[in-house]
Structure 1
Amino acid sequence: MQQFKVYQSLWAMERRRPDGLEWPLDEQLRMIRDAGFDGAGVRFFDYAFASRVTRTLKDYGLTWQAQCYPQTVDDLKPIIEHVQDLGADHINLQPDVRPYTVDECIPLIEGWRRLAHDAGVAVHIETHRNRMTTDLFFTLRLLDCFPDLRLTGDLSHYVVGREFAWPVSDEDHRLIRRIIDNSWGFHGRVASREQIQVQISFAHHREWLELFLGWWEYGFRSWRKRAPRDGVLTFLCELGPKEYAMTDRNGYELSDRWEEALLMKDLVRDIWTRLDKQDRDAKERAHQETSV
């Protein structure tokens, strides 16, 4: 049976308040567990940190994805070694390079995929600004070269990066759906055409929230059609601290990101549950029809 897991980003647990108050790491992990998340996004370039965090998550019965930011093919080797030692459901790779041409990307992508294949580790390449995948059109050209490239869809970067007009055009929807159809995991953040991260609890941002919920639902449907029966889809709630989060004149955030992460968790789980029910109902109807 296909599974859906909702993770919380540890980066998103940073508060960065003017008063310097932060949740200790152990408290962050307890909060993630007690809130009902299935796991966390963990940076794996720091082995000591990853070892400490994953040991606790494992004790809690939770899982995790490994975050990394390689600049060369060889940069991925220690990350794979850490995953082989500590485990992870997949590596989320932000390609920390900014090539001018697609041809420059080919040896990097081929090298990363070769290493992952040889190690038997799943790697998803994240769509992200100031990375190889910074631009929507450039990333689509990468998909022309690698039609089976597995992405992590962080769609917020393309909305603000391309400054999508409102209402979003049919053409922009089509382009985003092509990204979604290659996405094997999602990072959750809601953008507007001017802001990378809007407050999803504010009523006047509801239209942008609904836009992303619609894309995520399309993405869940798309994934369910192409993933194996025992596949696991992960969704990482990634509402980041400032400067992602907007702040007032005193440097305090305009909303409670932790509460909004809990809201996002519940919203995407509701989508998955609804799709599950629709599939079960469809199978039941088909069974009844063949039994008549």
Structure 2
Amino acid sequence: MRLTNKTILLLVLGLLPLTLLAQHQLMFFQTDWGNELPMDEFLAKVKSDGYDGIEVWMPGSDEARATLKEGLEKYQLKVIFLHGTNRGLPFEEALKSYEAGLKEIVSWKPVKVNNHTGNDFWTSEQNLAFIKVADAYSKESGIPIIHETHRGRFSYTLPAAVAMLEQFPDLKYTLDISHWMVVHERLISKNDPNLQKIMPAVHHIHARVGFAEGPQINNPAAPEWENAVKVHLDIWEEIIRNSNDEIFTITTEFGPPPYLPTIPFTNKPIADQWEANVYIMKAIQARFAHD
């Protein structure tokens, strides 16, 4: 990926971290999924471990929103907001709720908005309505609003995601391929013809490693998962290297129990979620260390 004049100017002005040069212009975000720390402690830990920001759902209360905003400013962290379709509502109500939430989110000027979009039980036309609303807000605000490949949503299978992309060519994806690994019960390689169709439309990655029988391996450092980790890293690297995005964003998204397996009768996790996320961030960085 070549540095554009705009990127060089931003680096000179100090508006982009210099580490982006060595990291192929990667920007890493930590998930708050499963976080039980107070927000200030959580953000301090995120910063100390080398992340550029966090990916979170919009807090429900004014107090929590104020705390989040203050913390982001204090630690100079960026934010990607999660947003989604409420599948518990009828279609028309869900669409209205989705638009109202999106309007609030874009007012924060996040780096991106990552959507859990639509419903796997709805028609393609109904799901497309959400995509069109997101596209309109994205064009108006200038903020990338993208759609995560996710079970239970319109993109619950790889063929379904391809079909929607063919129907709406401007569609932008967050690739969380761990979902498709379990849905299709196999490790999908980077050379898969359908995946090749999706890859140019990917503008954000959720870095979690799945396998044929589940959406999350227990520990990416364990040798028994070496092949699964490599398959995911190969896919992510190819997407990033071929992307035209000046800065490519990645959220490390190994989750807490029950995504993270536990010891029976105790509900005690058999691995450390935070360590898994830092491990996968460093594994991605290593792919670009000699650029």
What residue in structure 1 maps to residue 231 of structure 2?
A: 211
Q: Is 70-79 or 22-31 further displaced after alignment? A: 70-79
Q: RMSD across aligned C-alpha pairs, in angstroms?
A: 2.1
Using a 3 Å threshold, how does the CA distance of structure 1 residues 103 and 70 change in structure 2: closer, same or farther? Answer: closer
Structure 2 vs 1, CA of residues 273 and 148 (structure 1 numbering), >3 Å: closer, same or farther?
farther
Q: Distance in 2 between matches of 1:84 and 1:138?
A: 28
Deviation string 1:187-242 (CA, Å, 9 cap, x unpaired) is: 0100110011002021101110011010110111121xx33xxx321100011111
Q: Aligned residue for 1:237?
A: 252
AA aligned to 1:260 is A
Higher relative contact order at CA 8 Å, sep ≥6: structure 1 or structure 2?
Answer: 1
Runs of 4+ more than 6 Å apart = none
| Equivalent of 1:31 in 45, 56, 61 | 45
Q: Which residue in the other structure is 1:183 paired with?
A: 202
Kept in 2, the 8 Å contact 1:102–1:141? The answer is: no
Q: TM-score, normalised by structure 1?
A: 0.81
What's the TM-score, normalizing by structure 2? Answer: 0.82
Alignment match, 1:107: 129
Q: Which amino acid aligns with 1:218?
A: E
| Deviation of the 1:134 alpha carbon | 1.2
| CA 170–77 in structure 1, closer or farther in 2 if over 3 Å, else same | closer
1:140 CA displacement: 1.0
Q: Does 1:253 align with 2:269?
A: yes
The 3 A distance-change label for structure 1 pair 65 and 158 is same
Partners of 2:164 and 2:118 in 1: CA distance: 15
CA contact 1:126–1:153 (8 Å) conserved in 2: yes
Taking the aligned partners of 1:260 and 1:268, their CA distance within structure 2 comes to 12
Alpha-carbon contact 1:191-1:197 (below 8 Å) kept = yes
- 1:281 counterpart residue number: none
Consecutive unaligned residues in structure 2, runs of 5 or more? 8-24, 87-93
Residue 264 (structure 1) aligned to one of 247, 255, 280: 280
**TM alignment of 1:1-292, pairs within 5 A:** 1=3, 3-11=25-33, 13-14=34-35, 22-44=36-58, 46=60, 48=62, 49-71=64-86, 72-164=94-186, 168=188, 173-198=192-217, 199-223=219-243, 226-227=244-245, 231-249=246-264, 250-274=266-290, 277=291
Q: Provide the aligned length of Structure 1 versus Structure 2.
A: 259
Report how far residue 101 of structure 1 moved.
Answer: 3.3
Contact 2:190 2:231 in 1 (8 A): no
Are the aligned partners of 1:73 and 1:112 in contact in 2 as well (CA < 8 Å)?
A: no
TM-fit CA distance, 1:29:
1.3
Taking the aligned partners of 2:100 and 2:66, their CA distance within structure 1 comes to 14
Distance 1:186 1:170 in 2: 14
Greater displacement, 37-46 / 211-220:
37-46
**C-alpha displacement at 1:170, in angstroms?**
7.9
What is the CA–CA distance in structure 1 between the aligned matches of 2:278 and 2:258, rounded to whole Å? 21
